[in-house]
């Protein structure tokens, strides 16, 4: 079946009764095309949706769905793919334009879905969603442009799904993943998000966040973030991302109380490699805030008959630039004694850290250091860590704090001291340079 080149103007619908959802086009047929239709929706109607399709092998291409009222007043759904009571698969949604609405493109219970090259301008109320996938298996959201609204792209309770190559701006959060299996978030351009750039929670399997560019995110949040993940039951792989100007609005007039470039909580194991986290203007944020370029905590440390048998974190080849009252990079542990949540192996190598420390006289913890590491055993090699002295004769800010963790410390160039670490190889000065 082909539904093409129609002009449809939907009238206001009843607000009471059964089965209230009203569709401009409702297609339930296999091997069909919905193309080049123009739909005008009553913006204030929450029971309207522009297009709904269910079935297999369907293309929804080059349609336009727009509101008859102001964008901020629009509460309709633009395009709906699938339904809980219908088997839907092999769907392509491409080249559509959805202007306004509480949700631009929504997919529910779909197998094999491609959402590409669409333009969604969501309602400007902060509650809308640009593209949303729920219980979708093998979905891909790529090369779309989503502006305004709340969440630009949402994937929940499905997978493996991919969000790649999208341009997302001027909303609350760029990409949100919840209870997904082995997701990929790659090559997106995320700008001016009020709460954060990428947020992932409750992920099972490998979580890949690679080659994204995230700028000016988290400026309206109490704790703004560029990349924020929590509860990863698998490997977190964060590589090649650029996270810039976190906690600042694009005009630099709004400054969040706290900013964290890359944040991970309860992560089983992690690889953080070749990322650039920093600021266009290093003096744009206060140095007395507890900001972090990288902040991570582990999900668990197992023990067997031979002792601890946990998981590693590898932090390799990154560039970290920014402020932080007591640290720039921090790998934390939780609990004490036998009940610890920490990484069993910590690798921190070939990184460049430029830390803007607090001014002299600031009350900082005794454990403060540009790089603050917790774990069972560490390897720290080939790093360059610098925290400029802000006054003549002022004490240098410590470069590393191992918190009693043993391991080799070799080939580093540092500007400050090393705390709570037994020199290995010894003496430290023979194998590292202070400059």
Per the listing, tokens 């630099």 go with 252
Supply the pTM of this predicted model. Answer: 0.93
Q: Is the CB of residue 409 less than 8 Å from the CB of residue 387?
A: no
Instruction: Retrieve residue 210's tokens.
Output: 């690679």
- Name the pLDDT band for 299 (thresholds 50, 70, 90): confident
Q: Is the CB of residue 71 less than 8 Å from the CB of residue 123?
A: yes
Q: Is the CB of residue 150 less than 8 Å from the CB of residue 126?
A: yes
pLDDT recorded at residue 10: 83
Mean pLDDT of 180-209: 97
Instruction: Retrieve residue 159's tokens.
Output: 């997978």
Mean pLDDT of 2-13: 88
pLDDT recorded at residue 285: 94
Give residue 415's region: left, alpha or beta (phi > 0; psi -120 to 50). alpha
pLDDT digits (tens, 9 = 90+) for 62-85: 999 988 776 556 678 899 999 877
pLDDT recorded at residue 73: 62
pLDDT digits (tens, 9 = 90+) for 236-255: 999 999 999 999 999 999 99
- Name the pLDDT band for 431 (thresholds 50, 70, 90): confident
- Name the pLDDT band for 110 (thresholds 50, 70, 90): very high
Mean pLDDT of 307-319: 88
Q: Supply the CATH classification number for the domain 1-155+162-169.
A: 2.160.20.10
pLDDT digits (tens, 9 = 90+) for 11-39: 776 655 455 678 899 999 999 999 999 99
Q: Return phi, psi of residue 152, to 5°.
A: -70, -50
Window from 89-103, 116-130, 228-242, 400-414 with minimum mean pLDDT: 116-130
Q: What is the mean pLDDT of the chain?
A: 91
Q: For residue 425, is the peptide bond before it cis, meaning its omega torsion is within 30 degrees of 0?
A: yes
- Is the pLDDT at 340 greater than 60? The verdict is yes
pLDDT digits (tens, 9 = 90+) for 355-403: 999 998 888 999 999 999 999 999 999 999 999 987 777 789 999 999 9
- Is the pLDDT at 45 greater than 80? The verdict is no
pLDDT recorded at residue 18: 55
Mean pLDDT of 287-302: 90
CB atoms within 10 A of CB 19: 6
Beta bridge partners of 339: 336
């Amino acid at each position: 079946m082909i539904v093409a080149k129609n002009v449809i103007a939907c009238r206001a619908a009843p607000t009471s009764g059964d089965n209230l959802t009203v569709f401009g086009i409702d297609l339930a047929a296999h091997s069909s095309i919905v193309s080049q239709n123009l739909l005008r929706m009553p913006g204030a109607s929450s029971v309207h949706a522009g297009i709904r399709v269910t079935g297999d092998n369907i293309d929804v291409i080059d349609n336009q769905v727009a509101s008859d009222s102001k964008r901020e007043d629009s509460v309709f759904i633009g395009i709906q793919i699938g339904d809980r009571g219908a088997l839907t698969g092999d769907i392509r949604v491409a080249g559509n334009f959805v202007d306004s609405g509480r949700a631009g493109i929504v997919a529910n219970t779909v197998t094999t879905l491609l959402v590409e090259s669409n333009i969604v301008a969501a309602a400007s109320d902060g509650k809308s969603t640009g593209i949303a996938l729920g219980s979708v298996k093998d979905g891909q959201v790529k090369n779309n442009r989503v502006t305004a609204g709340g969440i630009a792209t949402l994937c929940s309770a499905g997978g493996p799904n991919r969000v790649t190559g999208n341009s997302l701006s001027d909303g609350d959060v760029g990409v949100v993943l919840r209870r997904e299996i082995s997701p990929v978030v790659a090559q997106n351009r995320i700008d001016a998000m009020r709460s954060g750039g990428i947020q992932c929670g409750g992920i099972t399997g490998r979580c890949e966040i690679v080659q994204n560019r995230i700028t000016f995110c988290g400026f309206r949040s109490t704790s703004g973030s560029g990349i924020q993940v929590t509860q990863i039951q698998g490997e977190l792989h964060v590589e090649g991302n650029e996270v810039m100007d976190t906690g600042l609005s694009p005009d630099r007039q709004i400054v969040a109380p706290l900013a964290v470039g890359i944040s991970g909580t309860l992560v089983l194991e992690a690889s953080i490699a070749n990322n650039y986290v920093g600021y266009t203007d290093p003096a744009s944020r206060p140095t007395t805030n507890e900001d972090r370029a990288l902040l991570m905590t582990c999900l668990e440390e197992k023990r067997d008959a031979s002792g601890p048998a946990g998981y590693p974190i590898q932090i390799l080849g990154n560039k970290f630039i920014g402020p932080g009252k007591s640290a720039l990079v921090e790998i934390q542990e939780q609990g004490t004694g036998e009940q610890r949540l920490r990484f069993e192996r910590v690798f921190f190598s070939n990184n460049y850290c430029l830390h803007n420390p607090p001014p002299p006289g600031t009350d900082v913890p005794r454990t403060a250091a540009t790089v603050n590491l917790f774990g069972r055993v560490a390897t720290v090699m080939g790093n360059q860590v610098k925290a400029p002295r802000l006054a003549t004769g002022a004490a240098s800010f410590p470069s590393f704090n191992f918190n009693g963790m043993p391991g080799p410390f070799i080939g580093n160039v540092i500007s400050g001291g090393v705390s709570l670490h037994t020199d290995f190889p010894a003496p430290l000065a023979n194998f590292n340079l202070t400059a």
